[in-house]
Amino acid sequence: AFSYRVDGLMNGRKHYYRYYLKQNGSYTYGDVLEFQTDVVPVTLSVDNITQTTATFIGEAIFTEKGAIEIGLVYSATISSPMVDNSEKIVLTGIMDAEGVYTCKIEGLLNGTEYYYRYYVEQNGSYTYGAVKELKTDVVPIIVSVDNVTQTAVKFSGKVELTENNQIEVGILYSKECCLTVEANGVIKQNIIPDIDGNILFEIADLQFNTNYYYCYYICQQGKYIYGPSNNIKTLNVEVILNVDTITYTDVTFNGSVKIDESNQIKIGILYSKEQTITIDGCNVYKGEITPDASGGFVFVANDLQFATTYNYCYYISQNGAYVYGDMFSFTTSDIINDLSKDG
């Protein structure tokens, strides 16, 4: 009787064997028989998922721990992850004496579907478990418009971030409807929520009476997720301009205007004998208006020619751009008629 142990066999594989007899250099063989080594039983399941992490738990039962490596492969882009094309984590080293393990993967993209499975490696050969899927939590964010002025918009909202140091949220806005970080004319503003996730921020230096598109973004590892696009329109600057009195050399204007940010928006009057009036036009006179606390103003244009028709309009200036009101006209008095009336 005899007993013989063969080591280093591949797990879960069928093996063939038979005995042989050798006499004087000649061999005879017995019948071919077969056996199959045990498969290493591995369990792998997801215990917890956050916006950027996934925690796995499981168990592997095997006797020759030094000869076999068990691990986890995962990918967001490859539906059949393998060791040579996906992220890999070795589980063998973190198992306890009974083969039980807990593994937490960090740095995952939020709101993203991942494919994963376990592998068993022995002597450079790999076998894989069934592919499973998980999806990380989406960052919940609410952004709403609180107040709109002529040059600014105030937003409020709430965002729930579980890993603040990994995920950035903010607002994109532009006069164009295409809202991506790479698009021309798009301005990006980061949002920093308070400790409870509340959002309160303002976009300033906007142009009055202008339509803007905006959306929130979520950025992680240089990759962006965009919220739905919405639009707002800043308030117009309402100007009332009247001619009060006219003499043969002067005209007095009065009116009112409401300006939210006087340091950004300026108004004034243009007047000329020419038919076309612009800020840089020939023979066009410019007078800047300084309204009082209630928005009222009075402006006197003097040194005019008597018995002459002038065209006039108001202008609104912001950041070097000009908007013009409707053009009207007045005629100065005739000095001869005025003298004759005085006798």
> What DSSP letter does each residue of 38-76 carry, written as one string?
PP--EEEEEEEE-SS-EEEEEEE--S-TTT-EEEEEEES
What are the pLDDT digits (tens) for 189-209? 999 999 899 999 999 999 999
Digit-coded pLDDT (tens) for 227-272: 999 999 999 999 999 999 999 999 999 999 998 876 789 999 999 9
The answer to whether 130 and 136 are in contact (CB under 8 A) is: no
Q: Which amino acid is at 9?
A: L
pLDDT over 80 at 12, yes or no: no
pLDDT at 97: 85
* pLDDT (mean) for 90-116: 92
| Residue 151 pLDDT exceeds 90 | yes
Distance CA 237, CA 150 (A): 7
- 51 and 169 Cβ atoms separated by less than 8 Å: no
